[in-house]
Structure 1
Amino acid sequence: MRTTKDRIRQAFSFEAIGLLLSTPMAAFAFGFDLGQTSVLAVIGATIATAWNYIYNLAFDHSLKRITGTTRKALKIRFLHAIGFEFGLMLVFLPIIAWWMEIGLLEALIVDIAFVVFYLIYAFVFTWCYDTLFPDNDQPAGIPE
């Protein structure tokens, strides 16, 4: 199992890199003001950081209880990424609509774009993170 310090490092590095990648792409793709999009991204990152910690802790405890290890095979990595993004999407949708002053349907399209980006990003980031910083249940240098 990962330590609290490691979980915090993982959550903050995930969000920092994600912000640097997603904010300018979203502003450009949707024609939004970069400043307004940046604030939205920081709001989303703050929510996502808290969710990241809570979700990963609960996921790892559940995985350890069910399988006896926190090692994640490819199928589990997909389930992990989808579950994380779906939960975050439910919370973030009304905030997007309110902050960007757009309707729920347009906000849903923006939210889906963020979800698609972050699904791919979460999968790649977590795999890389687990390779660079393996937990006690995962042998170093052997991502699954």
Structure 2
Amino acid sequence: MRSFPDRVRHALMFEIVGLAIVIPAGSYLFGLPAAHMGVIGIVGATVATLWNFVFNLGFDHALLRLQGHTRKSVAVRVAHAVLFEIGLLAMLLPMIAWYLGVSLVQAFLMDMSMVVFYVVYAFVFNIAYDRVFPVRSNQPAFAG
């Protein structure tokens, strides 16, 4: 299991590298100034991080109440991922549309393209991270 400092390094690297890709690529693809993509990227990453904490806590409490445990089947994991993204979309969509002065449809299409990017990015980033920073078998869970 990864240590707490390793988890912090992972989270920070994930966001920094992701933003380093999203800001220039989004600026180019959507024809927006990099500063606008930077605001959207940073606000989006911050909201997603906070939402992740709140949503996972609430989801686990709901599972505990409904099932008596927090184990997640494949179907529950799919529901978890879909509900997380719907909640994040509901929070970010109005902000993106307002900030860029675009329609909700345009903001939705931009957001969906970012979701697709982050799904692929997360897959590739995590494989690379595991190769660069392998887990030692004797590494304690919360070593400082």
**Worse-matched range after superposition: 47-56 or 24-33:** 47-56
Aligned-partner Cα distance in 2 for 1:42–1:122:
17
Question: Do 1:48 and 1:88's aligned partners in 2 also have CA atoms closer than 8 Å?
Answer: yes
Cα distance, 1:46 vs. partner? 1.7
Question: Do 1:19 and 1:42's aligned partners in 2 also have CA atoms closer than 8 Å?
Answer: yes
Query: Quick one: structure 1 residues 25 and 81, their matched pair in 2 at CA, closer, same or farther if it must change by over 3 Å?
Result: farther
What is the count of residue pairs matched by the alignment?
127
Cα distance, 1:130 vs. partner? 3.5
Q: What aligned pairs does 1:1-144 form with structure 2 within 5 A after superposition?
A: 1-51=1-51, 66=71, 85=85, 87-131=87-131, 132-134=133-135
TM-score, normalization: structure 1? 0.66
**Could you report, residue by residue, the CA deviation over 1:39-95 in whole angstroms, capped at 9, with x for unpaired residues?**
111111222333456678899xx9xx638xxxxxxx8xx958767655533332222
RMSD over aligned CA atoms reads 3.6
Segments of 5+ residues of structure 2 without an aligned counterpart are 64-69, 139-144
Cα distance, 1:4 vs. partner? 3.4
Query: Quick one: structure 1 residues 21 and 6, their matched pair in 2 at CA, closer, same or farther if it must change by over 3 Å?
Result: same
Q: State the AA in 2 paired with 1:134.
A: V
Aligned-partner Cα distance in 2 for 1:118–1:90:
17
Q: State the AA in 2 paired with 1:99.
A: Y
Query: Quick one: structure 1 residues 88 and 133, their matched pair in 2 at CA, closer, same or farther if it must change by over 3 Å?
Result: farther
Segments of 5+ residues of structure 1 without an aligned counterpart are 68-74, 138-144
Query: Quick one: structure 1 residues 54 and 24, their matched pair in 2 at CA, closer, same or farther if it must change by over 3 Å?
Result: same
Query: Quick one: structure 1 residues 52 and 133, their matched pair in 2 at CA, closer, same or farther if it must change by over 3 Å?
Result: farther
Aligned-partner Cα distance in 1 for 2:135–2:8:
15
